[in-house]
Amino acid sequence: MVFQQFGLLPWRSVRENVGLGLELAGIPKPERAERVDRQLSLVNLSDWAERRVGELSGGMQQRVGLARAFATDAPILLMDEPFSALDPLIRNHLQDELIDLQKTLGRTIIFVS
């Protein structure tokens, strides 16, 4: 699930936030690291992996939320107005990126409003 207010943990790094669901599911650390790296690459945040989420812009934080949701390999992704807190320019850009990700990953995405 991707939330309207991102739902990120500010004391964790980008990498740790993306891997949170995998960590809670008990995925072994090596597999978790591989899956997190793959998702960070998909959302173009590999260079920001060790930063705290508070250092990122709103659009980048939302991409962290997307990467976290995609990392779990869930067949359906629920999005609770994920772009409503963003300015229109960033919102349009992220909507385009999400469409590209959906085509690449072939996941069902449901928007909740």
Residues 108/78, Cβ–Cβ less than 8 Å: no
For residue 75, how many other CB atoms are within 10 A of its CB? 8
Write down all domains in the chain, each with its CATH number in brackets.
14-112 (3.40.50.300)
Task: Give me the helices (H) in 1-113, please.
Answer: 14-18, 20-24, 29-42, 58-71, 88-105
Q: What is the pLDDT of residues 81-107, one digit of tens each?
A: 777 777 788 778 878 888 888 888 888
Q: What is the pLDDT of residues 11-36, one digit of tens each?
A: 999 999 999 999 999 999 999 999 99
